[in-house]
């Protein structure tokens, strides 16, 4: 009976973590260059007891659920024309580079602007960099040559918030920067909503299982002992 409580509770905790990711995705449906997260779940016992050579599962009984993999979908999205000269998008793969207080970070969000010193900066006032790591001056007419911006190939890209990524730069990528457009968000609103509803239903199922087990334990502790 206790095993059932643990299994149901672990499933609820897993769904809570999944819902956090989905909620963050839905909050960024309109964020330029945003990349959605994907997760996969498996029985915790199956993860531990699988044959390392054949991949076959050892033992049919699990002790709960767990998120086994979380990845960010870096697929380039459709670009939207804005007509703004400092809005830039990358056609193809690659990342823009910005210099932050914590070091160089990488982004697909090209909603840039002119900083106080005339440099091209992001929404957090971080300077945008060339392929050689130099800052970029905005032209007197309020435009910037897209060819000046670095388009970096990034290995092991990891999302860190504010639309930025960390990773290992590996030179110039094949993507090309263009002005007057922004890359759309990578969130599919319909898919995210369906996934959220499914996760909520799974969470509710876990609650009902725990309530049922709790009622059974109550019956066992209060009535079984009184049977003559």
State whether residue 223 is helix, strand or coil. Answer: coil
How many residues does this entry show for the chain? Answer: 228
Question: pTM for this one?
Answer: 0.77
Q: Where are the domains of the chain?
A: 2-73+187-226, 79-183
Cβ-in-10-Å burial (0-12, 13-18, 19+) of 96 comes to buried
Q: What is the DSSP string of 134-178?
A: -B-BPPTTS---GGGS--EEEEEEEEEETTEEEEEEEEE-S-EEE
Please tell me the least confidently modeled range out of 54-63, 111-120, 185-194, 207-216.
54-63
The residues, any chain, with a CB within 8 Å of residue 148's CB and separated by 6 or more, are 130, 136
pLDDT tens by residue, 2-41:
677 877 888 888 888 889 999 999 999 999 999 998 887 7
């Amino acid at each position: 009976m206790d095993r059932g409580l643990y299994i149901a509770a672990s499933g609820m905790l897993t769904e809570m973590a999944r819902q956090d990711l989905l909620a963050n995705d839905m909050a960024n449906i309109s964020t330029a260059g945003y990349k959605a997260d994907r997760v996969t779940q498996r029985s915790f016992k199956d993860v531990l007891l699988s044959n390392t050579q054949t991949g076959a599962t050892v033992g049919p009984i699990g002790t709960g659920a767990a998120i086994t993999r979380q990845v960010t979908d870096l697929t380039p999205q459709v670009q939207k024309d804005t007509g703004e000269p400092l809005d830039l998008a990358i056609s193809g793969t690659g990342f823009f580079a910005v210099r932050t207080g914590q070091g160089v970070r990488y982004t697909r969000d090209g909603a840039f602007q002119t900083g106080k010193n005339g440099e091209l900066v992001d929404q957090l006032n971080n300077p945008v960099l060339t392929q050689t790591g130099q800052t970029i001056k905005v032209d007197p007419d309020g435009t910037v040559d897209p060819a000046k911006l670095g388009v970096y190939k990034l290995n092991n890209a990891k999302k860190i918030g504010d639309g930025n990524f960390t990773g290992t730069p590996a030179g110039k990528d094949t993507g090309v920067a263009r002005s007057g457009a922004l890359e759309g968000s990578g969130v599919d609103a319909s898919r995210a909503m369906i996934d959220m509803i499914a996760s909520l239903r799974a969470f509710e199922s876990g609650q009902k299982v725990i309530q049922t087990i709790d009622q059974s334990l109550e019956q066992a502790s209060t009535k079984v002992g009184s049977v003559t």
